[in-house]
Amino acid sequence: MAERSLTDRLFDDADREPIDPFDLFELWFAEAKATEINDPNAMALATVDEDGQPDLRMVLLNARDRRGFVFFTNFESAKGRQLLARPKAALLFHWKTLRRQVRIRGPVEVVADAEADAYFSGRPRVSQLASSASSQSRPLHSRAELLARVEALEARVGEGPVPRPPHWSGFRLRPQSIEFWKDGAHRLHDRVLFTGEPGGDTWTRQRLNP
C-alpha cells in the first residue's frame, strides 16, 4: 500500500499520529511552486501601528527553516518601524490555483547580520541599488527623484560592491500558530490549526469549523 501524504493524514479525523507543521508547509509550498504562475512565496504581512491600527501589505518569503519564516525590508519603512516597536506579526499565504491558505502568527526577531549580508549580496545589483537608494514608505516628490538617487549611488560605488545599508535587514517570524485551510464544496472547508511555543518541537493539532 502506498504511503499516504501528509495532506491526506491532516484531514483524516481518525489519524491522530503527530504531524509536523513545518514538514506539511514544505509539502504545500512545493506544490504551490509547481502550480502558481507568479510568486508562490508571496504572503500578506500584518502588523500594528503606534495607534493600534492594523496594517497589511504583500511581501515575499525570502528564507525559512525550523526557526521560522524570514523576509527582508528597510527598517525605516512603515512595517520595519512597526515591527521594531511591536515585534509580533501574522502571515497569510493564499495559493489560488490550489485553493489553499496557510496562516501563521507569532513573535518576530531581527535576523543576524551575517544572514542579512548573505541575502543582500545575492540579490541582483539593480535591486541592491534600489534598496539602498529608497527611503521606503517616506513621501516622494517624483519618480525622477528616486531614479536620480539610484544613478548617483551607482556612480559613487562604481564597479565595487554595493554595501548593505545599516537600516536594511530581515525579520524572522517564529510561529506560535500555523493554520492550514483547504477549500471545500458548499463552503464546507477544511481547517486545521497547529499551536505551540516558538522554537519548540511539540504541536497541538485542532480541526476548526469553516
Nearest residue to 68 via CA among 25, 123, 122: 25
Cα angle, residue 65 at apex, residues 201 and 89 outer, rounded to 5°:
85
Cα distance between residue 121 and residue 66, in whole Å: 23
The residues that are catalytic are 187
Collapsing DSSP to helix, strand or coil, 94 comes out as: strand
Cβ-Cβ contacts under 8 Å for 70 (sequence gap 6 or more): 61, 62, 63, 64, 111, 115, 170, 171, 172, 173
Nearest residue to 119 via CA among 168, 67, 158: 168
